Copies of this chain bind each other. A is one copy, B any other.
């Protein structure tokens, strides 16, 4: 089964991976075609066209005018690509010291080029990591993917309590550079000291001092309660 999924076109792979990622991120089964078009930087028509092919291949179900949903086979393929992508990111970051904000773009291409056998070797070489350098969980070789259920957006946590950064949602290079510059990284301790209702920004306390984060930014930083 795996092999027949492997030899798909590059475009097919990117579409399926995008559906899987949008579905996970938004917490819904049915994904709007519009979201796909925005994410892949193509027209709605291109997505609608491709959906027909993906349906024919048994990878997605089209709920006409409502959105699309991955089949089991589609989910399998999606998780496989997410696995490849995140393993490459760990490899690039820990073994080759490629900067944090460059690994995503490089992995975007490598994810399609390596066989499952090679990815398993890399997985082993890296000591079977469970998350990528941005804190995202790495699916297993058998196609399963687990989440951190305790994770919350930094924008939603209780004021005054201590939290630890576990994950950064966006992978945009300038966003990551901004966070790095202000001392953010996986494992860093943070606390919300003030909350501004008019623009939903938050004032954060962390080791380096305090810092005000816009809604857009704080929303993309995920944390868990500190165990101290």
Interface of A with B (CB < 8 Å)? 1-3, 6-7, 10-11, 14, 40-42, 92, 95-98, 102, 106, 109-110, 112-115, 117-118, 121-122, 125
Distance between A41 CB and nearest chain B CB, rounded to angstroms: 6
Distance between A124 CB and nearest chain B CB, rounded to angstroms: 9
Cross-chain contact A98 with B110 (CB below 8 angstroms) = no
Give the number of times this chain occurs in the complex, counting copies: 2
Cross-chain contact B118 with A96 (CB below 8 angstroms) = yes
Once bound together, how far apart are the Cα atoms of A226 and B86, in whole Å? 47
- Say which residue of B14, B113, B121, B122 sits within 8 Å of A109 (CB atoms): B113
Interface of A is mostly: helix
Once bound together, how far apart are the Cα atoms of A115 and B2, in whole Å? 23
Once bound together, how far apart are the Cα atoms of A92 and B114, in whole Å? 11
Task: State whether A95 and B2 are in contact (beta carbons under 8 Å apart), knowing that A109-B113, A113-B112 are contacts in the complex.
Answer: no
Distance between A44 CB and nearest chain B CB, rounded to angstroms: 14
Task: State whether A125 and B113 are in contact (beta carbons under 8 Å apart), knowing that A3-B10, A42-B1, A118-B106 are contacts in the complex.
Answer: no
